[in-house]
Amino acid sequence: MRPLRLLAPALAAAVLVTSCSEGGATDGAAEELAAQTRGVTDDAVVIGTHQPLTGPASPGFRDVSTGARAVFNYINDNGGIHGRRIEYQVQDDAFDPSRTLEATRALIEDEEIFAMLGGLGTPTHEAVLEELNEAGVPDLFVSSGALAWDQPDVYPYSYGFQVDYSREAKIQGRFIAENFPGQRVGLLYQNDDVGPSSQAGLEQYLTDEIVTWESYDPGVPELAGQIAEMKAGGAEVAVCHCIPAFLGLAILEATAIGYDPQWIAPSFGGDVEIVTALIEEYAQGTPAEDVPPEEFLDGLIITAFLPMAAQREDPWTAFFLEVHEEYNAGTPFTDTTVYGMVQAVLMARVLMETGPDLTRSSLIETLHSREWTGPGLVPFAATESDHSGYGGVMVVRHNAGEEPEILQEPMVTDSDGGEILPFEMERPAPDEVALFGGAGS
């Protein structure tokens, strides 16, 4: 059973008023209005998410929700949005799809969330995609680059956020072809949608160059065999479409066997501060513990669609750092923190633009009504026919102790055979964007 088409809030209200005034049956209209405003009161709106606070993905991604919460706390301390505080409910799913289902049901039924924000993970969020859409819960800015979230005819309530795996890999593929011509390439990827999607992108520009395809299971922290195969295959460029924990493990395993390729990481895995800390942890009790951990990632090439934590001259990074220091004291400021902060900013902006008469359908209508610019470095798509999210990446090199070196300015493309192109976009500064206030505040 698919969700009913979105009803305009004015129509829902008109039906309710007419039914009451004519003395007709009001149960259906009242139920519809209740569903449209679930999670909304005069002074609060409840937003939920499922996140891997524990489990194999936790070291890389637990700070997504701390970043989002810091922004929401900042907004709440400044009066909220149209007089409403944002109540941010985070459920731990340990990166386990069965637990994601339990967590999501708790959010829908017990917490009565108005919307889901940034549910994290490909296999995990796929487990609850049907349920969220059948319940009519706005499912905004999914934290995964899978293409599943960009199916508006099938999942009208779900919207992507990060650049999808195919687009990102496609831009990586052309960059490798142009900058490492003739070199052999090895691909290491997570054994879910990440694998086929990233291969589809890379192989548009790399064919005979790819000499090894190695996968890993995120529940099995072991890469010795895969790294040995990449070395045996002579891969001079190692593309690791991995979460941070497995990028760190891969680099450490390679060092242990004297394998030193050019590593290339995607936006979802290349958080340098997190990976450095993981390498330091993993190296304990091995010969690598005597090597300064920052040396392992020196020269790492990363693709990114958001301003990076190390880009301190970027106005959005500077703003996020201020919020972080006030509301996240004692935790590291990383690219993952910024990721969650950007999701919260986008959520707040849509709530602000929707206005005080907040319903689920009015939120979706507002989301479709304009182009959303702000923290992101590339255009963001959230329209009735396009739920894809961010559309491209830049390419940078990490040089230890320095700001990231931009090797290629942000470019955009599609998930198929379209060109990779530059673009023009006006990116507002934080002080040009309203994140709190409004009528009733």
Among the ranges given (24-28, 44-48, 218-222), the one the predictor scored with the smallest mean pLDDT: 24-28
| Average pLDDT over the chain, rounded to an integer | 92
pLDDT 10s digits, 162-190: 999 999 999 999 999 999 999 999 999 99
Q: Cα separation of 37 and 361, whole Å?
A: 9
What is the average per-residue pLDDT within 8-37?
59
Q: Cα separation of 314 and 158, whole Å?
A: 30
pLDDT class of 440 with cuts at 50, 70, 90:
low
The reported pLDDT for the residue numbered 415 is 93
Q: How many CB atoms lie within 10 A of CB 386?
A: 14
Residue pair 146/193 in contact (Cβ under 8 Å)? The answer is yes
> Quick check: helix, strand or coil at residue 284?
coil
The reported pLDDT for the residue numbered 1 is 35
pLDDT-above-90 percentage for the chain: 85
The reported pLDDT for the residue numbered 192 is 86
The reported pLDDT for the residue numbered 9 is 40
Q: How many CB atoms lie within 10 A of CB 102?
A: 16
pLDDT class of 16 with cuts at 50, 70, 90:
very low
Q: Cα separation of 301 and 397, whole Å?
A: 4
What is the average per-residue pLDDT within 249-264?
97
The reported pLDDT for the residue numbered 6 is 40
pLDDT 10s digits, 73-111: 999 999 999 999 999 999 999 999 999 999 999 999 999
pLDDT at 15 over 50: no
Q: Cα separation of 433 and 305, whole Å?
A: 19
Residue 1, Cβ density class (10 Å: 0-12 exposed, 13-18 middle, ≥19 buried):
exposed
Residue pair 144/120 in contact (Cβ under 8 Å)? The answer is yes
pLDDT at 155 over 60: yes
Residue with tokens 């610019």: 373
The reported pLDDT for the residue numbered 305 is 98
pLDDT 10s digits, 267-320: 999 999 999 999 999 999 988 889 998 899 999 999 999 999 999 999 999 999
What is the average per-residue pLDDT within 403-420?
96
Q: Is the dihedral of CA 429, 431, 436, 437 positive or negative?
A: negative
2, 29, 280: which is closest to 157 by C-alpha? 2
Distances (CA, A) of 99 to 55, 78, 95, 102, 108: 11, 35, 8, 5, 14
pLDDT 10s digits, 335-389: 999 999 999 999 999 999 999 999 999 999 999 999 999 999 999 999 999 999 9
What is the average per-residue pLDDT within 250-272?
96
User: Backbone phi, then psi, for 227, in 5-degree steps?
Assistant: -70, -35
Q: Helices (DSSP H) in 52-184: which residue ranges?
A: 58-61, 63-77, 97-105, 122-126, 129-134, 165-179
Q: Cα separation of 281 and 317, whole Å?
A: 27
The reported pLDDT for the residue numbered 439 is 66
pLDDT 10s digits, 183-237: 999 999 999 888 899 999 999 999 999 999 999 998 899 999 999 999 999 999 9
The reported pLDDT for the residue numbered 199 is 92
